[in-house]
Amino acid sequence: MIPDLGKYAGAVMGAYAVSIVLLVLLVAVSMWRGARVRRQLDEIEARRARNG
Amino acid sequence: MIALLSRDLALAVRAGGGFGLGLAFFLIVTVLVPFGVGPESATLSRIAPGILWVGALLACLLSLDRIFALDYEDGSLDLLATAPVPLEGVVAMKAAAHWVTTGLPLVLAAPVLGVLLNLAPAAMGWLVLGLGLGTPALSMIGAFGAALTVGLKRGGLLLSLLVLPLYVPTLIFGAELVARGAAGQVTATPAAMLAAITLATCALLPFAAAAALRVNLR
Amino acid sequence: MASLWQYANPQKFVQTTGAVLPALAVLTALALIAGLVWGFFFTPDDFRQGSTVKIIYLHVPAALMAINAWLMMLVASLIWLVRRHHVSALAARAAAPVGLTMTVIALLTGAIWGQPMWGTWWAWDPRLTSFLILGLFYLGYIALWAAIEDPDAAADLTAVLCMVGSVFAVLSRYAVNFWNQGLHQGASLSMDAEENVADVFYFPLLVCIAGFVLLFVTLVLLRTRTEIRARRIKALLARERMA
């Protein structure tokens, strides 16, 4: 399945692994913070709607 | 504006700290380096230009946060901002005062420290010239950084993070000038570049620094 | 008349981007997966560099986006300074961590690539060094945003820093050129066909670059929405305390 990378297999796989981990981390952090802030805002707006 | 300059100078002299501290720091850094890298004079004279420039840069950094902080705290910065003198001029004068109290002593002390580090005699003149040309830029860039962080309670560390990357071009050309001087190569290019950076920062950065100050005084 | 400026209204911005984002996210994923799979599995090895040439599909797009993210921040900062649209300032803030990540990816993949090719992880080469400095600029910018309480003052000060930083970033780029001759090769992509990498590598690379651009746009929109909401939470809480 994985193509023959020869003697540089470590380097190529390492580069892909590092980049993909970083990108996934960035996306995950962005989405997680987005969801949290959104939840907070919904809570506050619901509270405001109830109270007046 | 002259009055402002002399006021800042008088304050710096009477407060003590300003003059001596940066200079003492420069001295200590230079003395510590041989302990770190060993006493071989060949090695030392090879790295002397870089050490002297980095030392000068760090010594300059030490007193940056004081450029505006004291005046900001006691409110005289608000008065200066509303004074008939343009704020850009105030910034330029503050940077000039900083240069006279820290940059100039460094320039004068550098040859002595150069001897300590076994710097080639041919490079001494270039070292003084380079520091003389380059340190005003360090003060002006520093004044900009200080203007950005003046309202912050713990701005000191942030200030160095913001200012040090901006020092890179000055450092490169300054150290290159001394290294070329020591090796007897053509020195006109780095000298001209250094002067160009200083002139450009002195011409443009007061506007950016004054804009930052206005935001912080709002 | 519809114009770009209507998106300066935060509500309009959130509405529109909310509708566009899912499609954009799918497109991003498609382009990234297609480009990387094509590059990783279906391209030949270079006759000199062996299989390490496959790193190009990460290295070049990341480096490109690291620079373009700063450019985008510069434009957004200028728009904020001139027209005082809050969305613009928040978009600049949202882009900075993305740009920093791209810089880190470019540096890391470069180091991993450099180790077998140049025999060293790191060299004080002009391109490498100026990327390191760019990374420092990103750090300073993010730190300044985080340090200032008042949102408008933070937006103003970071915008000024972004402008000054841009000038010094360009200056540093040429200064380090003067200071050391590099190991890094010249441009991989240019209009000049002679200088370009071979077509087998070129087309998957283009797809990867498109993927990275889309990823950047998606993330910036997503993060800008978050910033807008965070700002609104702050305002609502302040109003509650007043009442």
DSSP C12-73: HHHHHHHHHHHHHHHHHHHHHHHHHHHHHHSSPPBTTTBGGGGGHHHHHHHHHHHHHHHHHH
Per-residue pLDDT at A10 exceeds 80 = no
The structure tokens 């900075």 sit at C96
pLDDT band for position A30 (50/70/90)?
very high
SS (H, E, C) B40-81: CHHHHHHHHHHHHHHHHHHHHHHCCCHHHHHHHHCCHHHHHH
Residues in chain C: 243
pLDDT score, position C188 = 55
Residues 6+ apart with CB under 8 A from B112: none
C92 CA to centre of own chain: 11
Whether residue C70 lies inside any domain: the answer is yes
Higher pLDDT, B11 or B105: B105
- Facing residue for B165 by CB, picked from C137, C160, C179: C137
| pTM for the full predicted model | 0.86
pLDDT score, position C68 = 92
Are A15 and C109 within 8 A, CB to CB? yes
Instruction: Give the number of domains in chain B.
Output: 1
pLDDT score, position A28 = 93
Are C178 and B172 within 8 A, CB to CB? yes
Q: How far apart are CA C137 and CA B177, in angstroms?
A: 26
Per-residue pLDDT at A1 exceeds 60 = no
Contact B148, B212 (CB under 8 A): yes
Closest CA to C46 of C117, C103, C99: C117
Boundaries of domain holding C112: 58-182+212-242
The chain-wide mean pLDDT, for chain B, equals 85
Residue B89: CB atoms within 10 A of its CB come to 15
pLDDT 10s digits, C104-153: 999 998 888 888 777 777 777 777 888 898 999 999 999 999 988 888 88
Q: How far apart are CA B109 and CA B22, in angstroms?
A: 11
Say if C160 is an interface residue toward chain B (CB within 8 Å): yes
CA distance C10 to chain A (A): 15
The DSSP annotation for B108-173 comes to HHHHHHHHHTT--HHHHHHHHHHHHHHHHHHHHHHHHHHHHHTT-TTHHHHHHHHHHHHHHHHHHH
- How many percent of chain B have pLDDT more than 70? 96
Q: Counting beta carbons within 10 angstroms of the beta carbon of residue B85, is it exposed (0 to 12), middle (13 to 18) or buried (19 or more)?
A: middle
Are A19 and C109 within 8 A, CB to CB? yes
Closest CA to B125 of B107, B139, B137, B138: B107
Say if C59 is an interface residue toward chain A (CB within 8 Å): yes
pLDDT score, position C149 = 83
pLDDT score, position B207 = 92
Residue B32: CB atoms within 10 A of its CB come to 12
Are A30 and C223 within 8 A, CB to CB? yes
Whether residue C104 lies inside any domain: the answer is yes
pLDDT 10s digits, B20-35: 777 888 888 888 888 8
pLDDT score, position C198 = 65
What's the helix, strand, coil split of chain A in %, to 5?
90, 0, 10
Residues 6+ apart with CB under 8 A from B104: B135
Mean pLDDT for B2-25 is 72
pLDDT score, position B178 = 87
Are C50 and A18 within 8 A, CB to CB? no
The secondary structure of residue B184, as a DSSP letter, is: T
Closest CA to B137 of B186, B86, B98, B105: B98
Say if C133 is an interface residue toward chain B (CB within 8 Å): yes
Q: How far apart are CA B167 and CA B64, in angstroms?
A: 13
> Is there an interface between A and C (3+ Cβ pairs < 8 A)?
yes
Are C232 and A15 within 8 A, CB to CB? no
Minimal-distance CA residue of chain C relative to A5: C51
Are C50 and A44 within 8 A, CB to CB? no
- Facing residue for C144 by CB, picked from B162, B169, B189: B162
Residues 6+ apart with CB under 8 A from B195: B133
> Is there an interface between B and A (3+ Cβ pairs < 8 A)?
no
pLDDT score, position C184 = 65
Say if C147 is an interface residue toward chain B (CB within 8 Å): yes
pLDDT score, position C177 = 73
Whether residue C194 lies inside any domain: the answer is no
Residues 6+ apart with CB under 8 A from C215: A23, C28, C32
Contact B110, B127 (CB under 8 A): yes
Q: Which of A5, A37, A42, A48 to mutate to test the interface with C (most CBs of C within 10 A)?
A: A37
Say if C37 is an interface residue toward chain B (CB within 8 Å): no
The secondary structure of residue C119, as a DSSP letter, is: S
- Facing residue for C52 by CB, picked from A8, A40, A48: A8
Highest mean pLDDT among B121-125, B192-196, C123-127: B192-196
Residue-by-residue pLDDT tens, chain C, 243 positions = 456 777 778 888 888 888 889 999 999 999 999 988 888 887 777 666 777 778 888 888 998 999 999 999 999 999 998 988 888 899 999 999 999 999 999 999 888 888 877 777 777 777 788 889 899 999 999 999 998 888 888 999 999 999 999 988 888 878 777 766 655 665 555 544 444 566 677 788 889 999 999 999 999 999 999 999 998 898 888 888 887
Are A22 and C105 within 8 A, CB to CB? yes
pLDDT score, position A2 = 59
Boundaries of domain holding B209: 2-217
The two structure tokens encoding residue B107:
């320039």
pLDDT 10s digits, B58-100: 888 888 888 888 788 888 888 888 888 888 888 898 898 888 8
The two structure tokens encoding residue C68:
């373009």
Per-residue pLDDT at B103 exceeds 60 = yes
Contact C213, C83 (CB under 8 A): no
Q: Could you tell me which chains touch chain A, where touching means 3 or more CB pairs under 8 A?
A: C
Whether residue C52 lies inside any domain: the answer is no
pLDDT score, position C123 = 74
Q: How far is CA C205 from CA C31, C170, C197, in A?
A: 11, 26, 10
Instruction: Give the number of domains in chain C.
Output: 1
pLDDT 10s digits, B134-164: 999 999 999 999 999 887 877 778 898 899 8
